[in-house]
Amino acid sequence: MAFVKKPKLIDFKSSPPHLQFNDFVLTGYRPVSTFQGCVHSLFYLHNEFGNIYTHAIPFLCFLVLLPLNIPWWQAGAGWICVLHYLACLSPTVGSVLYHLFMNHEGGELIYDTLLSLDMFGVCLVNTLGALPIVHITLLCYPDARRAAQLAYISLSLYGVYSAVTARSNVRRLQSFIWQAAFRLFLYFLRLYGPGTGSPASMHFYAVMDSLAALGGLVNVARMPERLSPGSFDYWLNSHQIMHMLVALSIVYLHWGMMEDLVWLDTFQCPPE
């Protein structure tokens, strides 16, 4: 990074109003930049540097490594594998674009578009990642399975609308509550009801949702930078911690789905 000349960074009060959303991060803001200037910021340290790379690196890892571990050839599970792969990639793509270009000279219009793209990626992982879980949980109940998938898609559409129109982190986090509640109901069916699926996958799904929820709460609470404003401007602020927890939750989603796919390859529903 030392060989790349960086522009003079600015403080919170000097940054555009639409970028003043965390008043505990005091310094390290990039000035308004062209497209090339935003791309150039990949190579010098600023307060969005960690936010970019805590999702860019997982994206590249998921992009290359997951296809080597997904059983694309498994009979009847091809669509599950495709949805799962797209689900694992979707939140990291939107996030990287948002954080990389948020200071673009296009101003608030570009910022709002990028934020909507970021939220859409989060909604996609909640939707595409869960539909295979719905399918496997209600595998032996086709009518209930179709109704549950339709209901979950409807909740997802509502979640997308709520997330992209929300004006605060709290409201954005609340946008995903109903989807989380639906998944909790599916886990209940697996543990105590007629639901099906690999018993081993439940641990991974529980950790997945717990990590994602914890990341959202950390981001809303603005911890730890709230305790010492200015000390976490570049590293280990709440948003970076959330990014790392989200990336780890995707790993647990993948592990859980691999357990379910192994189970699916050998399971047969009892005759009616």
The contacts of residue 171 (CB under 8 Å, 6+ apart) are 162
Element (H, E) at 209: helix 201-221
Q: Which residue shows structure tokens 């994602």?
A: 212
Judge whether 135 is annotated as a binding position: no
DSSP string, 111-160: HHHHHHHHHHHHHHHHHHTTHHHHHHHTTT-HHHHHHHHHHHHHHHHHHH
Question: CA-based diameter of the chain, in Å?
Answer: 71
Whether 195 contacts 137, CB under 8 Å: yes
How far apart, in whole angstroms, are the C-alpha atoms of residue 91 and residue 99? 12
CA distances from 57 to 39, 52, 61, 138 (A): 16, 9, 6, 35
Q: Which of 138, 129, 134 is nearest to 176 (CA)?
A: 129
The C-alpha torsion from 143 through 148 and 153 to 157, rounded to 10°, is 130
Is 55 one of the annotated binding-site residues?
no
29 backbone dihedrals φ, ψ, rounded to 5°: -80, 140
Alpha carbon of residue 262 to chain centroid:
25
Detail the residues annotated as belonging to a binding site: 99, 239, 243
Detail the residues annotated as belonging to a binding site for Zn(2+): 99, 239, 243
